[in-house]
Structure 1
Amino acid sequence: MFFASDNWAGAHPAINERLSKESTRFAAAYGNSELDRSIEARFNEMFERDVAVFFVATGTAANSLALASVARPGGLTFCHSEAHVIEDECGAPDFFSGMRMVAVEGPAGKMLPENLVERISRYPQDAVHHGRAAAITMTQATEVGTIYTLEEIDAIAKIAKDNGLPLHMDGARFANALVALDCSPAEMTWKRGVDVLSFGGTKNGCWCAEAIVFFNPDLAKDFAFLRKRSAQLFSKSRFIAAQFDAYLKDDLWMGLAGHANTMADRLRTGFSALNSARLAWPTTSNEVFAILPKASAKAAEEQGARFYNWPAPRDIPEKVKADEVLIRMVTSFATTEEDVDQFLSICASA
């Protein structure tokens, strides 16, 4: 019963098999192999336009270098107050970009457009003492399991365009959001005004596969140097390409995300039926947040369940009582119905 995070899961067998196959071959290094080139072409097909793709090791590297690519001296990046880039990346986006993160409030883990407009207005382009607006980054799916609708992305993108700011999307759980919205990768990104995407594969069945996607290749003309200087250029880059080869083949990635979302739905349905526990707020991705008695959480942990106790967001709809705990549960491609049902059974009996 592993619900701590989707990155606790291993690699999907198809990806392991593809890595094993690649390990017996010789190929050009530093992203110059035929396989690397073929995956770059696959990204063009997937996003329905020519894009520039760069592989990196981690989601933090993807976010940090994507923002570094659009950095300006004295620049400020606007993000949700509980976004991963501001809460959980040890200041890496600030360090690599040289820009400061500015928190924007909003319910359900999503920036409110009016709050974003107000924040940006505090930092005009000639504000030499305070810094100037330089970029916006949004997380899709969010840190609290919610998803920006296409209309909400439109609203954020319009603000970015009106202010001449590049829009970055942190897509660590990109596939889960895509499945939930039932739209194409293009419809959730550049067709809405997203300029740069952190495309995550590690949380959805890959071993170590992240990519930075520029929807306007002109924005990436200097990025190869930035990646190299940041020690993110793999000599055996083809092993990331090999993972993406299996990941994207026959839409495996969408199937894996769909399964994870379905298991999360099963958890949500189960919690809704319990008298002793309840959902903390509605979610639509593979993250589930629940409030349950501390005794139930302890019983589940003692029987092998793994999850995280979670700090209550500022705008949590229902307060956590003294004898209760808020937990986060994340499902993955490897989560089974038995895992879910066993956890719910423990909660019910405890």
Structure 2
Amino acid sequence: MKHKLRYPVTLIIVILLLALFFYRLPYYIEKPGMAHELESIVKVQGGYDDKGKLMLTTVQLGKANIYDYLLAKVKKYDEIVSVNQIKDKNQTDEEYNVYQLYLMESSKHNAIQMAYKKANKPYHFIYKGVYVLDVYPKMPAAKVFKPGDRIIRVDNHTFTSSEQFIHYIAEKRAGDKVRVGYIRNNEEKTDEITLASFKDAGGKVGMGIGLVDDRELISKPKVSFQTNSIGGPSAGLMFSLEIYNQLTKQDITKGYSIAGTGTIDPDGKVGRIGGIDKKVVAADKEGAEIFFAPNDDITPEMKKAVPKIKTNYQEALATAKDIGTKMKIVPVKTFDDALSYLEKLPQKNR
């Protein structure tokens, strides 16, 4: 009899264990990701090769199950974060993912602008339409648009900027109808929208979308990226260095393995990012010898909100010391800071 009962009990235990694995808790787990060699991700047409390598670093982020949660309690660089720490409470998962991909595209544009200006190469933008970042619940757009749609015309009018689009809609009244042409998944669609007033916005009228310009950057030579599902803006600095290195004959890597992180703006300013401790761990595992860390300014407002806040550079230094890496942590405020450091490096003998 005991023998007959053993298998049903075992099956129940297996089912329970599987259920615990697939059941998602209301938390995310952040952990060290990967250091990806940029030569396989960024390609400048006819670009020069390098002897070393430049790498972007990532943080792995996933919804927590019970096993991830318990492991994160004991693993030093695995961090448990609430949903509200990752995205706005009113933001859907779809809107969050679209926004992260938009930040990545903006990061690419900024990196190209910075590198091409530094290398004296030409580029320009083509305006493609209004990019829908998010859709406000209970507004007319919620019945028509999805995050990631691109609006290309309204009432047969085309625009050369989002400002023109906003001005056209602002002249309408609540209850007016507009016919909108837009593109979703490379398919053109047309719909009619009845405009409405925003609550608590002084009678302002609109569709109910969060928007930005959708622009295509045309550069000569052409740059292509294979970022797949990598999102966010934190690869900007390393993108700009890789693009510049492929544009110019002199190899700025000089044979070294160089990782780093930080946003980049079109004028070359390097910005603060999250999870730098995890990125230092990822870079060290990949054998990086140099790591660029944003040496960002801490404002009084930031200090008041988080009294123990540190710069990204200070966080990176502390992590490097903690894990005992020989990797050199280099503070940078601008693209030129990173480039100047690399130009002064002696050529590495392999």
TM-score (normalizing by structure 1): 0.25
Q: Could you say which structure has the higher helix fraction?
A: 1
TM-score (normalizing by structure 2): 0.25
| Higher RCO by CA contacts (8 Å cutoff, separation 6 or greater) | 1
Q: Could you say which structure has the higher strand fraction?
A: 2
